[in-house]
Structure 1
């Protein structure tokens, strides 16, 4: 073992050099290398990446492959008469034509680009792997705006509709394939809640806000600065539709939101990075945006109707006057945003429903709020569809403390790769190889040693908490550990991740932000943040993956 440690030290010396070497080597070699590689605990959903590459599950949110309205051609799936070859042939997809003219073609669901090039009869074609054996194909594009290996979100642009390849006019040939075999896309999309009915889907890109305008602290990972950016790793999802049963929304139509109350909704939504319409939905359901001023029969108070006991745990100071007042409108609205966030609003469409149910434990209430929220404009949630169990909103999660750490040799390999990326630009949503955001950087660093982690910072933290690592206290970290803290997603949510480089100086190697790019930085101010956690990845191998139950 001593000879191995000396070898590692020599590698680290050539890798790092300078004053960092002594502390880094001492920290690295104090933990014994462990030769047994344990199976990865897999998570569910399109944000996770199982062995073999590609997002897991294939069961994420779906939408039509256009941003605007479109017509559904009679040329569908099955035996069709070919307009060029003038014979009956099997047609493996559904032809769609956007209105009023050729428009952007977008991803029908989140996944990884596996083909983006000209391919004969298909013309310019893009293929997306959605995991779970599912893939989609977009053919005859006039131009392509993505590259192979890029991870895209639902609704992210892939190119422009065209007529390349064997085609008689501008249209999109859309295919859905299961295990490489084309299936009827009309039936599939209908079963997945996104019928190809010609209507324009709701936008999947979050609107601009004060954070998107760049009003964030220096050294903070920044959110999308333009409508073309989809967020970290391109992850986001629309508010789920209202279901049944419903109650109040069937008899009480949504009333206009007073300007001063809407300003409070929007300010809280900006801070916590959730759609303001969800707050408006609650405000309508509870007090018609303050028009009803009496306490409820159960004793709930204020604009957003908090019970005093709940307020004690969840009340926050929304107007920054130094106290959280249950009767103060700003405090009430910000506290509602806080409560929804810690209850899992951002953890997929099911998380939205669970958070609303936590707010008022009735199914009809959940559907009423969603009905009102859509009436006020709906919106996109910046979040991750990966299901890893404990949830980033559970700061008490500790993972599996019995896991041995990654072998020293593997840590060196990971940091060697990371060091080689220093100087590369930071691009929000980029997945390499020439630009990174924070989580694609750590995901790819782990991939260098055969460990497949989810795409976003929040999902990586939850993946660790699900049994792939364990939390360590400040002062116990070692090189290769992951540091997480809140960022553009608001004070309650993990939004940034970095690799520990030298614990003695609390230095990191990471993709920091647009201004700083990829390099070595510090986590010394981390304990001062609203969320700050350090996690150690277990000595995992993707050769055997255990499905979560």
Structure 2
């Protein structure tokens, strides 16, 4: 997900961009959406206990004092980590978000990892662990829902960068015709769906890289045979800037966050892609705006056009 810079107040733009570069799980649009939800960009915001009037959360990113004492950083280099200094607060927010993303990932919970991280920011990581997902706490549910919705406001969605080529349309059509086909680990080839191995041994279908291999092979009338794995497919063809993406381009994702492109898909236009996601799922259409996929490192490759 690419930051729509004009949506961010100019005085904070530099720090929101920097914050979104701290780890793969935390994007600049997420940081911006979180700030709006927390303080509506007020660097002096202070939330108080309605009964005691004690300050319980402070600054543009609304840190409780105990969390700030542990995580606060001096981002602007003035010699002090100040919760009311936007640079310090925003970079601390990113640091803490990245930490929480790793913690919730270690729980091996199903579900959108971005939502789990946001729930941990609001309710604490142990509440997420105890609940086995996003805690059913009204405040936390509202918090997660509000931020994931706000991310679209701060995102410059990847748009089709030019007219669709005949080849690109053929790649997309060859991928789309298998929508609904089961995912099969190690299954599929240029000949179509097949039984895989390991957990795919009893399922006839495609995995992510065989679907892409099939689509490009048939679009090129058998002239382009891609390697079998997503990691190698992601190094082939022509590298494309996200702003120039076109129908039929191939998108490789580093879902593990380790820099390894372990998932791959075919772009079909309007911010959507066709892919074979995982065991138990089918070939389907997903959106680049989905908070899970938008937060992952990705590379775009073009073949035959």
TM bucket (normalised to shorter chain) is 0.3 to 0.5
Q: Which structure has the greater CA radius of gyration?
A: 1
Structure 2 length-normalised TM? 0.39
More strand by share: 1
